[in-house]
Structure 1
């Protein structure tokens, strides 16, 4: 199972790094649910709102010739058909990282026909770059 998931995760991260909205849309479940916390505010959203958010982020990256810096923090099997991946994400503009980024706790499920889909996310937004780079799990 892990090898198949690893292939999927590589496809997912490549879609993110290349700002491919069409590919990202295919990798997210229509039943997707998410929560983002930014500056203490909590925002809950679903599939359609996530696509709008990805579109805005990808447009910003393309218009500013930015690059996504994605780091896998941890991969945690939750159930036989679910895996959580913790990813830190920042944007690099003109060769310089922004001052902050996000920490994504993303759960993927193996759906019918053996396809993996992103089903839920918890996103901690606006974390200082220093804190993101010093993440340690004990």
Structure 2
């Protein structure tokens, strides 16, 4: 993996873990497109809706003194300038993990300035945590 991408991804994940919306917002392309599946319901959204969703999640984390538990499952180079990263995300409240997690398939693209931006996401929400843990063992 490209060292610059590794540095970018580490900074992106740190922003997520610290619930820093201003920082995370800088990593998302204005042309961002996403699809989330929750209980079989499909929701398509773009940049603005994404920022609203992150804000709600970050506010919940801060108000409940929750900690993000992020696990980078794998990285898959798609093209010379695109990398797909699969991340599982859940929270712990008072030291106890929630029973479910979200599985994020996030595509990052190198922009014309050599930086990276999140351009697409596919999210499976509400997966039982035991299923995610089995995935991490493979």
With the shorter chain as reference, the TM-score category is over 0.9
State the shift of 1:70 in Å: 0.2
**1:118 correspondence with 2:118:** yes
**1:96 correspondence with 2:75:** no
Rounded to whole Å, the distance in 2 between the matches of 1:78 and 1:137 is 24
Report what 1:10 is aligned to: 10
User: Which structure 1 residue ranges, 5 or more long, are not aligned?
Assistant: none
State the shift of 1:136 in Å: 5.3
Rounded to whole Å, the distance in 1 between the matches of 2:79 and 2:116 is 13
**1:56 correspondence with 2:74:** no
- Provide the alpha-carbon RMSD of the alignment: 1.2
Report what 2:45 is aligned to: 45
Aligned pairs, number: 138
Deviation by residue 1:39-89 (Cα, 9 ceiling, x = unmatched): 000000000000000000000000000000000110000000000000000
Residues 74, 137 of structure 1: alpha-carbon distance in 2 compared, 3 angstrom cutoff: farther
State the shift of 1:112 in Å: 1.5
Deviation by residue 1:79-132 (Cα, 9 ceiling, x = unmatched): 000000000000000000000010000000000111100000000000001001
Rounded to whole Å, the distance in 1 between the matches of 2:75 and 2:115 is 18
Which secondary structure state, in structure 1, belongs to the residue aligned with residue 113 of structure 2? Answer: helix
Rounded to whole Å, the distance in 1 between the matches of 2:112 and 2:27 is 13
Rounded to whole Å, the distance in 1 between the matches of 2:27 and 2:137 is 28
Which secondary structure state, in structure 2, belongs to the residue aligned with residue 113 of structure 1? Answer: coil
